[in-house]
Copies of this chain bind each other. A is one copy, B any other.
Amino acid sequence: MDLHITREELIRGLGRVQGIIERRTTNPMLSHVLLSARGSSLRMTATDLHHTLIADYPARVEKEGDLSLDAGTLFQVARTLTAATVQLRVGKGNRLQVRSGASEFNIVGTGGEDFPNIPVRDDRSTLGVTGGTLRRAIEETLFSISLDENRYGLNGAHLEEVTGPDGQPRLRIVTTDGSRLSYSEVVYKGQLGMGRKVLLPRKALAEVKKLIDHDDADWQITFGERSAAFTSGGLSLMVRLVEGEFPDYRQVLPAVHKRRVTVDRESFGGALKRALIMASDRNHSVRFAFEESQLVLSAQNLEAGDVREVVPADLEGAPLFTGFNVKYFQDILTATRGDKLQIELGEALDPCIVRLPERDDCLFVVMPMRLD
């Protein structure tokens, strides 16, 4: 292998690889990137065995070949170089010779044959979405995937096909950690025809979000029996689907609501942040009193003190008070945009639904807390 590549492309490629590799593992190959020089491009492959990223970058290849080496070391080197182009060449003993400006590195590597086998794709169906739409749907759902590895089936994002109010099919992403739930939908081109339930790991969604560089880029999502793939241009992320049963989430969605409150994002967000200071560190519980023209948040803490926040709010229905983990509302605000939020309520311990006015393609459910 002997090639010249721009520093910019090298850093872009290695930056993408960093999220895929596993640093804390007994298998050193999972922290490696496989470099393959072919034709007029450098291919970088990285895998943690569940997620595999393959991407091609333009390069002037003098000699084709492969080498696998620690991705973190090469990234660290690439980021400190200052000349515009970099030469990568396999030297003696499988060392990667990196030359740029007045710098010369020799990085310990190993032959490409030691790199893990890449799983074979079993594509059955493909649909097309734009980068901006896909990123929006991921942002609106990623935060409510359970981080608890023991919550079998809640560790992933559930994908399914639904029909929008306009009769058009949509791909819906649903996530829940048991205390809250989010869904967000994207309109797609092509055939989905999803034959089975699909559960994508959290890391897959997080990495796809990072891989989306442009809102108007075309992305293809391919589904197979055991895997899915996200592809755009010369870049492809293959993902092994999560085994496990996603709960029947529709049963927690209230069919009707007794109360509806509209609040301004900015004043609600500020009040949440201040109320959190006095909320318990354990469950971030704050009292929400929905009154005729205002929402009053209050919290108290034996050691630090208490707080009372008044948020202007339009309430349809009878006054009500209940408790919520304020972090759940903060997460919704971080993941979304727009000036207003609509909160739909039943009784004090019923699930609460948050909607964005003028958006029929996303919805958030927050379970209330019993106040002590």
**Residues of A in contact with B (beta carbons under 8 Å apart):** 70, 73, 76-77, 80-82, 95-96, 102-108, 267, 270-271, 273-274, 277-278, 303-311
Q: Which residue of B lies closest to A72 (CB)?
A: B304
- Contacts A80-B270, A80-B277, A82-B270 known; A304 to B73 CB distance under 8 Å? yes
Contact B278 A105 (CB under 8 A): yes
Q: Which single member of B103, B271, B303 contacts A307 (CB below 8 Å)? A: B103
Q: Say how many copies of this protein the assembly contains.
A: 2
Contact B105 A306 (CB under 8 A): yes
| Residue with the highest number of chain B CB atoms closer than 10 Å, among A104, A271, A278, A305 | A305
- Contacts A80-B277, A277-B73, A277-B77 known; A305 to B105 CB distance under 8 Å? yes
10 new A-B pairs (CB below 8 Å) besides A80-B270, A103-B307, A103-B308? A73-B277, A73-B304, A82-B270, A102-B309, A103-B309, A104-B307, A104-B309, A105-B277, A105-B278, A107-B305
Q: Which residue of B lies closest to A100 (CB)?
A: B274
Contact A274 B81 (CB under 8 A): yes
Q: List 7 A-B contacts (CB under 8 A).
A: A73-B304, A102-B267, A103-B274, A103-B309, A105-B305, A105-B307, A106-B305
Q: Which single member of B102, B306, B311 contacts A311 (CB below 8 Å)? A: B102
Report Cα–Cα, A277/B107, bound state, in Å: 11
- Minimum C-beta distance from A276 to chain B (A): 9
Residues of the B chain whose Cβ atoms lie less than 8 Å from the Cβ of A271: 102-103
Residues of the B chain whose Cβ atoms lie less than 8 Å from the Cβ of A73: 277, 304-305
Q: Which single member of B76, B77, B277 contacts A76 (CB below 8 Å)? A: B277
Report Cα–Cα, A103/B73, bound state, in Å: 50
